[in-house]
């Protein structure tokens, strides 16, 4: 049985004081929702403050990125070891990292391995660009991204995958539930080939891309879709709480 999972990616938004305010606004609403794993990913500079605020709650903390080395002369980078003191999760391979910062599949693979060996759980993002989608290359791209990211990874039991078509991120043009479910099923088939069927069956795969409280139901009513990675809508407390609440209800966790 896969526990539904909803994560908020705040991206490069919120000053520390704003992050604290946002946590205060959503803490009670989120905390009372059971049966969904809830993960917030604020910017690095807010992790310490948010970690303290979430300490006695059911809400978990994630980072948005990390470097793959543990320590050393890498000015400006943040290591998995440093994050492991503060977070349980880390988003890796987000399309904004791939396309604005040149992260290749090979770099993502190094990061996945470094995260796991430092006891961080990766939320691995994959997804095709608009031109690739239009050229019918979605499966080819996603297959390559998943296969390379997981190359020589010993165990995927701590991994969550987010299928995020690049054309749907921050555009207000979400994929349809059917489109997302079909690609997620395909990812599960890829995992079954790489590992085995039961491992693929147990791994949670989310949809991400312009998810809001108005369209979350369309995604999570598909049994293949285990939850959502939410960007813009996770910066609004009421909106994000509603997304998590609907996930819990639709997945049968609360009435
Ligand atoms: C994201 O940043 O992962 C994302 C899905 O963003 P948005 O929900 O704003 O499209």
- 70-96 pLDDT, tens digit each: 999 999 999 999 999 999 999 999 999
What is the Cα–Cα distance from 119 to 135, expressed in whole angstroms? Answer: 38
**CB-based contact 79:69 (threshold 8 Å):** yes
pLDDT at residue number 121 = 98
Of 94, 103, 218, 245, the catalytic one is 94
Structure tokens at 46: 């807010």
Question: Coil, helix or strand for 102?
Answer: coil
5-250 placed in CATH 3.20.20.70: yes
Per-residue b or e along 176-201, where b marks 16 or more CB atoms closer than 10 Å to that residue's CB: ebebbbebbebbbebbeebbeeeebe
**CB-based contact 240:229 (threshold 8 Å):** no
Q: Report how far ligand 1's centroid is from the alpha carbon of 168 (Å).
A: 8
pLDDT at residue number 213 = 98
Mean pLDDT of 45-58: 98
Q: Is the pLDDT of residue 255 over 50?
A: no
Ligand 1 neighbourhood includes 8 CB (under 6 angstroms)? no
Q: Report how far ligand 1's centroid is from the alpha carbon of 243 (Å).
A: 13
Nearest atom (ligand 1) to Cα of 208: 5
Ligand 1 neighbourhood includes 84 CB (under 6 angstroms)? no
Q: Is the pLDDT of residue 113 over 90?
A: yes
Q: List, in order, residues 6 or more apart from 247 with CB less than 8 Å away.
A: 4, 6, 36, 216, 220, 227, 228, 253
What is the Cα–Cα distance from 72 to 76, expressed in whole angstroms? Answer: 11
Ligand 1 neighbourhood includes 231 CB (under 6 angstroms)? yes
- 123-174 pLDDT, tens digit each: 999 999 999 999 999 999 999 999 999 999 999 999 999 999 999 999 999 9
- 96-112 pLDDT, tens digit each: 999 999 999 999 999 99
Domain ranges (residues) in the chain: 5-250
Residues belonging to the chain? 255
- 198-211 pLDDT, tens digit each: 999 999 999 999 99
DSSP class of residue 75 equals T
In this structure, the residue with its CA closest to atom 6 of ligand 1 is 231
Q: Report how far ligand 1's centroid is from the alpha carbon of 94 (Å).
A: 9
pLDDT band at 254 (very low <50, low <70, confident <90, very high): very low
pLDDT at residue number 216 = 98
């Amino acid at each position: 049985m896969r526990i539904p999972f909803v994560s908020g990616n705040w991206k490069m938004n919120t000053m520390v004081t704003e992050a604290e305010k946002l946590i205060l606004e959503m803490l009670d609403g989120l905390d009372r929702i059971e049966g969904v794993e809830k993960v917030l990913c604020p910017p690095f500079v807010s992790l310490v403050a948010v970690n303290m605020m979430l300490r006695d709650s059911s809400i978990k903390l994630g980072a948005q990125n990390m470097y793959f080395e543990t320590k050393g002369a890498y000015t400006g980078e943040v290591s998995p070891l440093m994050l492991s003191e503060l977070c349980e999760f880390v988003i890796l391979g987000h399309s904004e990292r791939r396309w604005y910062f040149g992260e290749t599949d090979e770099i993502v693979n190094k990061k996945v391995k470094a995260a796991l060996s430092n006891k961080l759980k990766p939320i691995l993002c994959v997804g095709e660009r608009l031109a690739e989608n239009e050229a019918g290359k979605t499966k080819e791209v996603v297959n390559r991204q998943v296969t390379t990211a997981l190359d020589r990874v010993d165990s995927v039991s701590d991994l969550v995958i987010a299928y995020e078509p690049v054309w749907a991120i921050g555009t207000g043009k979400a994929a349809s539930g059917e489109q997302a479910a079909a690609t997620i099923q395909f990812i599960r088939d890829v995992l079954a080939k790489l590992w085995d069927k039961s491992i693929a069956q147990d791994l949670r795969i989310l949809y991400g891309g312009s998810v809001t409280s108005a369209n979350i139901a369309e995604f999570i009513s598909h049994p293949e879709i285990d939850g959502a990675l939410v960007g813009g809508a996770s910066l609004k407390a009421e909106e994000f709480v509603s997304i998590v609440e609907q996930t819990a209800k639709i997945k049968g966790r609360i009435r």
